[in-house]
A and B are shown apart, each in its own frame.
Chain A
Amino acid sequence: MLKKIARILWKDILTEFRTREMFSAMFVFALLMVVVFNFAFENAPRDSILQAAPGLLWVAFTFAGILGLNRSNAIERENMSMQALMLAPIDRGAVYLGKMLANFLFMWISELLIIPIFAVLYNYSFTAHFWPFLLILVLGTLGFSAVGTIFSGIAVNTKMRDVMLPILFLPVVVPVVIGAVETSIRVLAGEPLRGMTDWLKILVVFDVIFITVSFLVFEYVLEE
């Protein structure tokens, strides 16, 4: 099964490498948000910026991620190639994992490119907190991709798919976003990870539950 997952992942990487549609949409949108809010916070006190900026960062990642998920859907809708994956003699959970890992990877890379720009604009230093923040970035993005991939599978069968995805998906992914924002604020304020184990547990449990459940039910989601 791992080979099949890797094949699906590789196919998405190759497609994205050639079109750059998913990555560029996510990166430009997130960049725009970070830049625009920088002007809004220009005269705000430093403490307020430190409190609000991680939330802003995750809002940018969330909406940029939705753009990415819509693009990921579009690849499988064109020529109805998702049906070709459904026809293949593989566990449909493998299709889910392949797509989920691709969504995670593209989103995570665009986040990594936004972080230095964010650090410069908001005068943050990530050097002291880089590894804890990277862990939060991985956990948050994984949860986002886990939920986003299953919900984009649901939305793809609806007529108003581009509208349906955020409507269905955002209420479910809220715990991940809140968890990621809470931990990001504390990490960037210099708190050690052991001081926020409750939030980290929530992120880890959410990721594990959603990946497992989605893996098991993806077959039913895809079949009409």
Chain B
Amino acid sequence: MPDSTPHLELFDIRKNFGLVAALNGVRCSIAHRDVVALFGRNGAGKTTLLKILALLMRPTDGHFQLEGVDARRDAADTRRHIGFISHATYLYSDLTALENLKFFGALYDVPHLEERIAQSLRDVQLWDRRHERVRGFSRGMQQRLSLARTFLHDPSLLLLDEPYTGLDPIASGMLDRLIERFHREGRTVVLTTHNLDLRLPVVNHAVVLEKGLVACDERRSRFASKDFEELFKEHVKERAE
């Protein structure tokens, strides 16, 4: 696949919930290796957009392409390339850490599953607790296991919905390192946040969503956290007026 093909391309995506329009025609192009910070105030449509990209929700209109191919043409195969993290852990509380990863690994047909699981559990420092039920884990441990679950199938596109919400400092640092590793490996990351104090040096693409539309779409080699604040204030304020 030539590098000129965007990794992810959104064509006029709309989503209505009854009479309420959450997305009003989102257009955006995301290149390979982009680490996209998707900003917007509450109700701007960030989570809706991410759910559509994760194929958890159907758009009312519009479509998107992954690697130049309509994502819904072979939805099951598209999902193989996507990792999704939200504030929910997506774990089964009455299974052990190991059983959870075995279950999800089998659903994703992860090759060399045993070794992958061992590596993932060591990465999130839960190897010694692998035979314990998730119900007995602290919130931070559950979040770390959730990270291991997301990265287990080696996705090429990582979607993160408010990923830092509720994370303890250890899990937060772990997530930073995983995103940086992801970027180094040439993969693509899209994360939503309303935290303008985002201190993630690998972010190279900022998108501001306002009232279901892309208000700003800017690429830079590097963003400082004050840049996010400026972009947000400039574009959200303009529209509010």
A interface vs B, CB < 8 Å? 3-4, 7, 11, 14-15, 18-19, 75, 78-81, 83-91, 223-224
Most buried by A among B92, B108, B109: B92
Contact of B51 among A14, A15, A78, A224 (CB under 8 A): A224
Question: Contacting B56 at CB < 8 Å: which of A18, A81, A86, A91?
Answer: A86
Complex contact B94–A18 (CB within 8 A) = yes
Minimal Cβ-Cβ distance residue in A for B99:
A14
Chain A residues closer than 8 Å to B107, beta-carbon distance:
4, 7, 85, 88-90
Q: Name the interface residues of B73-125: CB closer than 8 Å to any CB of A.
A: 76-80, 82, 84, 86, 88-95, 99, 103-104, 106-109
Report yes or no: A3 in contact with B93, Cβ–Cβ below 8 A: no
Residues of the B chain whose Cβ atoms lie less than 8 Å from the Cβ of A78:
92-93
Contact of B103 among A3, A7, A80, A89 (CB under 8 A): A7
Q: Are A79 and B89 in contact (CB under 8 A)?
A: yes
Chain B residues positioned under 8 Å from A81 (CB to CB): 90-92
Say whether A15 contacts B80, CB under 8 Å. no
Q: Is the interface of A mostly helix, strand, loop or mixed?
A: helix
Contacts of B178 in A (CB 8 A): none
Interface check B21, CB cutoff 8 A: no
Instruction: Verify if B58 is at the interface (C-beta below 8 Å from A).
Output: yes
From known contacts A19-B94, A79-B89, infer whether A87 and B80 are also in contact, taking CB-CB under 8 Å.
Answer: no
Chain A-chain B contacts (Cβ-Cβ < 8 Å), number: 76
With beta carbons under 8 angstroms apart, the residue of B57, B93, B108 that contacts A88 is B108
| B: number of interface residues (CB 8 Å) | 32
Q: With a CB–CB cut-off of 8 A, which chain A residues contact B88?
A: 79-80, 83
New A-B contacts (17) at CB < 8 Å, excluding given A79-B142, A89-B76, A89-B78:
A3-B106, A14-B95, A15-B92, A15-B94, A15-B95, A18-B94, A78-B92, A79-B88, A79-B92, A83-B86, A83-B88, A84-B104, A86-B56, A87-B54, A87-B55, A89-B80, A90-B76
User: Are A223 and B94 CB-contacts (below 8 A) given A89-B77, A90-B76?
Assistant: no
Choice from B57, B77, B104 contacting A224 with Cβ under 8 Å: B57
Interface string of B115-150 (1 = CB under 8 A from A): 000000000000000000100000000100000010
Q: Let me know if B103 and A87 touch, CB within 8 A.
A: no
- A7 touching B106, Cβ below 8 Å: yes
Asked whether B56 lies within 8 Å of A87 as measured between CB atoms, the reply is yes
Question: B95 to A89, Cβ gap below 8 A?
Answer: no
- Within the assembled complex, what's the spacing in Å between the Cα atoms of A90 and B89? 20
Q: When the two chains form their complex, are residues A89 and B99 in contact, meaning their CB atoms are under 8 A apart?
A: no
- B54: nearest chain-A partner, CB-CB: A87
State in angstroms the CA–CA spacing of A91 and B55 once bound together: 13
CB distance from A79 to the nearest CB of B (A): 5
Residue pair B95, A87 in contact (C-beta under 8 Å): no
Asked whether B56 lies within 8 Å of A79 as measured between CB atoms, the reply is no
Cβ contacts under 8 Å, A223 to chain B: 55-58
- Complex Cα distance, B77 from A60, in Å, reads 43
Distance (whole angstroms) from the CB of A72 to the closest CB of chain B: 13
- Chain A nearest CB from B134 CB (Å) reads 8
Interface centre among B54, B84, B93, B142 (most CB of A within 10 A): B93
User: In the complex, what distance in Å separates the CA atom of A4 from the CA atom of B90?
Assistant: 18
Residues of chain A within 8 A (CB-CB) of B93 are 78-79
Q: In whole angstroms, how far apart are the Cα atoms of A91 and B84 in the complex?
A: 18
A90 / chain B contacts, CB cutoff of 8 Å: 76, 107
How many Å lie between the Cα of A20 and that of B90 in the bound state? 21
B90 touches A80 (CB 8 A): yes
CB nearest neighbor in A for B134? A79
7 closest cross-chain pairs (CB), A and B: A84-B90, A80-B88, A89-B80, A88-B107, A89-B79, A224-B57, A15-B94
How distant is the Cα of A84 from the Cα of B86 in the complex, in angstroms? 11
- The interface residues of chain A lying within 8 Å CB-to-CB of B92 are 11, 15, 75, 78-79, 81
Q: How far is the CA of A80 from the CA of B54 in the complex (A)?
A: 15
- Give CA–CA (A86, B56) in the complex, Å: 7
| Contact, CB under 8 Å: A87 / B79 | yes
B59 vs chain A, min Cβ distance (A): 10
Chain B nearest Cβ from A68, distance in angstroms: 16
